[in-house]
Amino acid sequence: MPRQTPPFRADMVGSLLRTAPLKAARARHEQGAVTDGELQAVEDQEIRKIIRRQEEIGLEAVTDGEFRRAFWHFDFLEHLDGVEGYWADHGIQFQGAQVKPKGIRVTGRLGFTGHPMLEHFRFLKANTARVPKMTIPSPSMLHYRGGRQVIDATVYPEMEAFYADLGRAYAGAVAAFAAEGCRYLQLDDVSFAYLCDPEQRRMLAERGDDPVRQPAIYAGMLNAAIADRPKDMTITMHLCRGNFRSTFIASGGYEPVAERLFNEIAADGYFMEWDTERAGGFEPLRFLPKGKRVVLGLVTSKTGTLEKKDDIRRRIDEAAKFVDLDQLCLSPQCGFASTEEGNTLAEDEQWAKLAMIVEITREVWG
């Protein structure tokens, strides 16, 4: 029987490879050759297509593929009150690749008085009979990349006030999506996985943050954001170690953060990256309490090579040594296009991976 509430046995993180018509329209829009309305018409058309494809494959929850975004995080964050986007000198450095030089900074008091992504969700909900899933970056993403230096000290002389306002702003966002009928909301968070990497911890310490204390601060913001959600609204977190053009940033198993992640954050489920040895073993799953679920990211979104089903089933069995099989689900380890450039695989390869995930879950769980 299919799982009645998310996360589902077969699930997906959120983003999908941008289609050729969408890429062409966005490129022409940047050149001024396509109006905002014309671009939106193409986005609507292409999103309807990928919704149908997700439904045909058998996914119980569908997303809009993040087709209206250039970045998985900046496009949301820069529309919070008190935040502005800007073009920097350089982008975020991955292993062998660099993101477009976009940045964000806090220039005023944080708040939430509306957001264009509410309309994005309305469109998704109106165009599917399945569960519409919305993805937004975790509140920690406004702090983790730049830290104190991207926050105006005249607005926030004390960081405690910044964290408190950010939690309240996100509570407003969660309430707004809930009011639109969203009952499956995912908070994408790289900070907890990055804090398992000694190099990342060193980076935080060198800029003046305490890598030991930071997870508790982020957990507090997350809990403030989701504390008043409707009882029938599922909140999941997605954790990964970087995903841009099939590259990554961090390495390290979840052991340093697992107990806090599973037991101090009031999320209902966790999408977790386990497609390579960089993510460590499944031992941290022993901390998962009853009533929560982990979606095993065992299928990579970084390459087009289709995994062997027996290998995936074997790894599910390994994970089930540390937690009840009924608390596990399956998905790709990350989205296929965290930015509009996308990972280095073909659309057909993407869909084959998602279809295989549905097949495996039917074989494992029935």
Q: What residue spans define the domains of the chain?
A: 20-365
Confidence of residue 100 (pLDDT cuts 50, 70, 90): low
Q: Is the pLDDT of residue 1 over 50?
A: no
Q: What percent of the chain is modeled with pLDDT above 90?
A: 78
The CATH number assigned to the domain with range 20-365 reads: 3.20.20.210
Confidence of residue 349 (pLDDT cuts 50, 70, 90): very high
Confidence of residue 2 (pLDDT cuts 50, 70, 90): very low
In tens, the pLDDT along 13-68 reads 999 999 999 999 999 999 999 999 999 999 999 999 999 999 999 999 999 999 99
Confidence of residue 295 (pLDDT cuts 50, 70, 90): very high
CB-CB neighbours of 212 under 10 Å: 12
Q: What pLDDT sits at residue 339?
A: 86
Q: What percent of the chain is modeled with pLDDT above 70?
A: 93
- pTM of the full predicted structure? 0.93
Q: How far is CA 116 from the centre of its chain?
A: 18
Q: What's the length of the chain?
A: 366
In tens, the pLDDT along 130-156 reads 999 999 999 999 998 889 999 999 999
205-225 mean pLDDT: 94
Q: What is the pLDDT of the chain when averaged over all its residues?
A: 92
Q: What pLDDT sits at residue 240?
A: 87
Q: Which residue has the higher pLDDT, 116 or 89?
A: 116
Distances from the Cα of 105 to the Cαs of 132, 192, 210, 258, 285, in angstroms?
Answer: 31, 21, 21, 30, 36
Q: Is the pLDDT of residue 94 over 90?
A: no
Q: What pLDDT sits at residue 250?
A: 65
Exposed e or buried b for every residue in 94-119, given b needs 16+ CB within 10 A?
beeeebbebbbbbeeebebeebebee
300-326 mean pLDDT: 97
